[in-house]
Structure 1
């Protein structure tokens, strides 16, 4: 599967539990929507993913990637310490200038 570099970097950072590398995949003003909460900016995103890594120890395996006009959708099998693991999640991404501008994670 041919993923854009920033998406491949995101998956690698997640699987290494590297919250700093994960956050650098996002623009300074990026927004993440996950579990009913909004995280604004690279620093908040870094804190959010560090907390999620500690709680869930989730790893991702890309299943498919689809680019649309305004967003891309990465489907990934996500495994970790949470009920129902593993599950396939949809990562709705808006990418500009080779950085993620927004991410919404849905089941």
Structure 2
């Protein structure tokens, strides 16, 4: 699968449950949209990620990736402690200057 290196790093951090990698993945002013909320900035994104891991104990395994305009879309199988696990989700990333500037999950 031909995925930008920065996104491979994000999914490796997700699999390894390593929040320290997030500071290398996201821009300092990045935005994450998830479950109807926006998380802005490195600290808020790290807090969101840690809370989601604690709540769902999930891992996302990329299935495929494609470009849609300025977004890189990754379809992933997500399994964890939630109803109907595993499910497929789409992750939408905007990459600027080698870092994730914006991410959404649907």
Q: TM-score range by the shorter chain?
A: over 0.9
Q: CA deviation at 1:68?
A: 2.7
Residues 1-107 of structure 1 aligned to structure 2 (within 5 Å): 1-106=1-106
Q: CA deviation at 1:47?
A: 0.6
Q: Distance in 2 between matches of 1:82 and 1:97?
A: 35
Size of the alignment, in residue pairs? 106
Q: Which consecutive segments of 4 or more residues in structure 1 shift more than 4 A?
A: none
Structure 2 residue runs of 5 or longer lacking an equivalent are: none
Deviations 1:49-101 (A, max 9, x none): 01111111111111110013211100000000111110110001100111000
Q: Distance in 2 between matches of 1:24 and 1:57?
A: 22
Residues 26, 100 of structure 1: 8 Å contact kept: yes
* Higher alpha-carbon deviation: 5-14 or 23-32: 23-32
Residues 59, 79 of structure 1: 8 Å contact kept: yes
